[in-house]
Each structure stands twice: as C-alpha cells, then as structure tokens.
Structure 1
Amino acid sequence: MRARAVTYTGPGGEEVISIAERVVRAPKSGEVRVKVAAAAVSPTDVLLRKTGGPAPFRPVTPGMDLAGTVESVGPDVTRLAVGDEVMAAVLPVREDGGGQASYVVVPAASVVARPKTASLVEASTLPMNGLTALYALEIAGLKPGQVFAVSGGAGYMAGFAIAFAKEQGLRVIADAKIEEMDKVAGLGADVVVPRGSDFAGAVLKEFPEGVDALLDTALLGESSFPAIRDGGVYIPVRGWSDPESEARIRIKPVMVPDVFERTEWLEKLADAVDKGVIAPGVYGEFSPERVAEAQRLTMAGGMRGRAVIVF
C-alpha cells in the first residue's frame, strides 16, 4: 500500500518539506494500520525539521498523534478491529514515520477508541498533550493537598494538567493573561496569578514556602526555580541539558514518548473527554500542502488548541 505523507528530506527550513508517496507495510504482530483522517501539528514537528533530531531514517514524516479508522490489524490483535474509529500516539523518528500520512502502522498499545463525543479531527489533538499531562503528574508524585504549579496556565496542554491535578486532589496555582484568568480558574485552578515577568515572585506571594512541583509549559527555566520548595520537583516539557544544575530541587523532564504505549492512559483521555473533564481544541484544519503554514502558526504561540492536518 502507498500513502501520501508530509516528509522532510533533511534538516532545514520550510524548503525541506514536501508531500510525497511512501510505501506503508502490512501490520505485524502487535500492530495496526490506520487510515488517517487527521494528525495534529506540534512544536516538536518544527524542532525535528530544523535539527533532524535523532531520526536515522530519511525522509522523515512528522506528527506525534493522529486519529482515523483501523484499516487492518496484526495477526494477534484482538482489542481493535477493522473499522474502529481510533486515536493514537506515534513516534516520528522510526522507519514507519509519524502520523502525518494518509496510512500509518502503529503499535496497537498506542491506539484506543476515539471519545464518543469528539470527532476524529478533535480526537487527533488529544494523545500527546494528554499523555504529557498525565506523565508530568506521575513524575511529580504528589499526594492530595499538595501544591502543583503550572506555568502558561491558559495553554492547551496546561489545561489538561490542571484538570487532572484537580482530579487527584491537588491544590493548583497557574498563571494567565488578565483576559484568560477566568478561563483558567474554570479549568479548576485554585489560584490564578497574572502572567508577567516574575512568575516565581507571584507564586511565592500565594505560597511563601514554595510549591511542591512545577510543570513548566511556558519554558521559563531557571527563573521559575525560586517558586519551588526545597526538595520539590521541576518538570520541563522540552528536556533538560543539565539535570544537576540545581541541587536544591529535583529536575525531572517529561519525555512523553516513554508513555506512548500506556493504553490505559489513552483510554483515560477518551473517557475524560466524554465526562467533560477535558475538552479537545482545534485551532484550524489544514491540507497536507499547507503544513508549513500550520507550523508557522503553531510556533507563533497563543493558540488554544492545535492546528490539524486533514487527509
């Protein structure tokens, strides 16, 4: 079978993007092949394009999450069936490539039924951000009543983290622009401080001893460390080059590909949508030929949802 796919011919600018045909193999044991309806765009796609990342295969197809219909299943797959409408998390830096292709082979463990109350386009925006939020909370390892801070509280993934933190009985503080403070409070944040140049100072005014963990979706880095109590946890979302740079706190990056096969978490995301705990967000729909535009909008920031490539 052949598929249309967004591809990078190598690292570089938008000139390395092309729409090409690629061969899509049959699924093996523990895999399914999905006819992709929609695949979300993320900053990781742009980082992979610019740097080439760790991808040993060329060309590279980006996209870390998708939604579509199961087209065929491997010989031992029983949980999923042909015709199921599903969403999935997928790693682009592999020979089979990422989600931005019309057909993709994916480990069955990374595939679950889409939420009943969400379209396939909406479902494609859930896996990576939702898994990141759940993994961050697992990394934080907090108990009910402890304080969890989220920078960039109005962001899409931050909203998931706030909602799930409240489900776990945590106290949540987040920041937001003045016009978005009510929205963030509506997600469940106990305290919302105005977004500004001194996030740590604003947090310490509310919690003078510091918070127990901080999920840094706004990429504040070391300037946010004073907000964390001694022995607390700093959780960056884009990795961290020097895990020993601050002895007073623990730095634990969230590397979401580590949990792409946590089937129960993907199912939790779908259930949370159906129960109204979280909501999918679609900023806009783009054809594969408009992927460069979708990437530019993604990197410009301020999107409260994801740009989605629709096949």
Structure 2
Amino acid sequence: MTSIVVRTPGGPEVLELAEGPIPEPGPRQVLVRVEASSLNPIDLSARAGRLTAAGLMPPMPRFGLGWDVAGHVDATGPGATRFRTGDPVVGLRDLLFAGGAHAGYVVLDEPALAPAPVSVPLTDAATLPLNALTADRALDLTGLEPGSTLLVTGASGGVGGFALQLAALRGLRTIALARPHDADRVRGLVTGEVVTSSDDLGPAVREIVPGGVDAVIDAAILGITAHQALRGGGVFVALVAPFAPPPIRGTRVVVQEVLADGDRLAELAKHVDDGALTLRVAHTLPLERSREAHELLEKGGVGGRIVLTP
C-alpha cells in the first residue's frame, strides 16, 4: 500500500511516498479503499511539527497525514455490521496518532463512517467530513435560535462556507467576512451582508447589527478583532485554542474540537444531495504530487479544496 509519511518534521520536502502492508480492521472497524482524501491546514501543521510542539500530537518516528476519507468499503472487522463490501463511504480520521488518510487504504472505527453522497463524485465528497463537521459543531456550540445573528469570519474558506450554508438551514441571519475577490460568491451563501476587510471589523459589523451579533464563528482565527463585533453576553466560537480571546463583557468563549460522527456526517451528506451544501474542488492531484499540493495550500488563494488520490 502506498501512503504519505513524515519522519522528520519540516517543509513539503520532508513528505515521503512509502510502501507498506494493507492494514487489517479490528473489532467494529472498517477497512476503506481510499479513492480521495482532501488536504487541510492541519496537515500542514502536523508536517511542520507545530502540533507536536503544541502538545497536540505525541512525538513519533514516523506518522501519516490526512483526515478526510472518501472511498469504498474493502473489508469489515468483527462486529461491524453497518456497511457491506463495496459500499461508497465518507469518514473522518480524528486520531492524530493513527494511520493517515493520504494512503491507498485506511482503517476507521465504524461509527466514524457514513454513506457517501450520491450526487457528487468521491473526489468532491472527500472535502465534506472535516470542514462540514467542524462548521456544524461550531453552530451547535453557539446555541442560536432562528432569527439570531451570526458573524462568520473566513467565510470564503471551507469551514466558513459550510457554516454559512448550515446557518441558513437553521434560520439564522448571517454576516460574513470574506476576501474582496470572493465577495460575490459569498453573497450567494449569506443571509445578511458581506464585509470585505477585517480593519475596524467591530464597528463595521455593528453598523449592520446595532449592539453587535449574537454569536461569532471565527474561522479566520482573528481572535479579539472578531470578538469586537459580538454583543455583551454573546457566544464566541474559536477553532484554535491558543487564539481564543478572553471572555470580556460577559461573553462566553468556547473552543470547537471536531470529532468523528458518522450519524451527523450522514445528515450532512444528505444536505449535499439536496443541494443545500455545495462542495468546491480546485485541484485533484495524485499522492506522488503531495509536495506540490502542500506548496499550493501554503501559498493560499486556491479558490477551493485540494484533493489527493492514490
């Protein structure tokens, strides 16, 4: 089996194409033949050693990359009964010490998997799990009721885009912060208005929503800059713990930690088939071009997701 591994953290040049045995599923586990796996910023952080330095990942002599999985069930372990061989599935690998999804095969716990959406290719479906589950859980943490106001920063990115679409399904009024060249596309997702600069973000949002929004999902990791748009007593959802602002003015600051949830992922896949969630793929590259994929993502401005295929 081919996989991407890292032995010594560093730049894209440390990525290795390695060969190894196909893993075997254990009790209540499923072996997935990977058709596609998207590249995420957390993969860049793991490769560079930032997760280990932050204590989020144990030091290891070798580790794999990749969280998102889209493929077909190849085998099931004892007690795994939800899927049959050949079923198209999507899933999330949320254990940093387990084998990565940038590989030909990956073993996942059965509850981490869901039927793949049927309306899109698996290369597109591979962009769903991590970002959509992150956005969905972030919205749950806001506790907002229909009609409430929500600011989403980083609205042109994967998490931000899903957050806007899912917020619309929940009846929320959304304000989006997006890059100027993405503003027109984001206006098609937002139920309120689009702001195109983080300069004076608080005053700009408060002109739209007097008193401030009820909640913020900070996908752009702006911290206190985005917090200024929040009303007193509102909820701020941070995606990266070290950049969470202090809970001033009686606000509640929570950190979203994504987890594999096959049942919820199945609902999100249905939203894709219903047309309520759109998926954007910018580049599809083979594992052999992983270094190029990492360079593209680090450069930024890709305009969609980067997907790797075995």
Q: Indicate whether the TM-score tops 0.5.
A: yes
Deviation, 1:231, is: 1.4
The AA in structure 1 aligned to 2:273 is D
Query: Unaligned stretches of 5+ in structure 1?
Result: none
- Asked if structure 1 preserves the Cα contact closer than 8 Å seen for 2:230 and 2:236, the reply is yes
Deviation, 1:286, is: 1.2
2:245 & 2:199 partners in 1: Cα distance? 24
- Asked if structure 1 preserves the Cα contact closer than 8 Å seen for 2:43 and 2:66, the reply is yes
1:210 & 1:225 partners in 2: Cα distance? 10
Alignment of structure 1 residues 128-277 onto 2, 5 Å = 128-240=130-242, 244=246, 246=248, 248-256=250-258, 259-260=259-260, 262-277=261-276
**Alpha-carbon deviations, 1:94-151, whole Å to 9, x = none?**
2x31211101100111111111111111111110000011000011111111111101
**SS of the residue 2:61 aligns to:** coil
Deviation, 1:236, is: 1.8
Deviation, 1:209, is: 0.7
2:287 maps to what in 1? 288
**SS of the residue 2:65 aligns to:** coil
Alignment of structure 1 residues 61-72 onto 2, 5 Å = 61-72=64-75
2:302 & 2:214 partners in 1: Cα distance? 28
Query: Unaligned stretches of 5+ in structure 2?
Result: none
2:23 maps to what in 1? 25
1:91 & 1:32 partners in 2: Cα distance? 15
Deviation, 1:194, is: 2.6
1:181 & 1:49 partners in 2: Cα distance? 32
For residues 244 and 133 of structure 1, do their structure 2 counterparts lie closer, same or farther at Cα, with a shift above 3 Å needed?
A: same
Identical aligned pairs, as a percentage?
A: 35
Q: 2:58 pairs with 41, 55, 58, which one? A: 55
1:92 & 1:297 partners in 2: Cα distance? 25
After superposing on structure 2, the runs of 4+ consecutive aligned residues of structure 1 that deviate more than 4 Å are 241-245
Deviation, 1:204, is: 1.0
For residues 202 and 304 of structure 1, do their structure 2 counterparts lie closer, same or farther at Cα, with a shift above 3 Å needed?
A: same
- Asked if structure 1 preserves the Cα contact closer than 8 Å seen for 2:223 and 2:245, the reply is no
State the TM-score, normalized to the length of structure 1. 0.92
**Alpha-carbon deviations, 1:218-270, whole Å to 9, x = none?**
121111211011111111222236675646322211111xx21x222101111
2:299 & 2:12 partners in 1: Cα distance? 15
State the TM-score, normalized to the length of structure 2. 0.93
1:116 & 1:297 partners in 2: Cα distance? 29
- Asked if structure 1 preserves the Cα contact closer than 8 Å seen for 2:227 and 2:245, the reply is no
The AA in structure 1 aligned to 2:278 is A
Alignment of structure 1 residues 82-97 onto 2, 5 Å = 82-91=85-94, 93-94=96-97, 96-97=98-99
2:20 & 2:202 partners in 1: Cα distance? 48
What is the RMSD computed on CA atoms of the aligned residues?
Answer: 1.7
1:75 maps to what in 2? 78
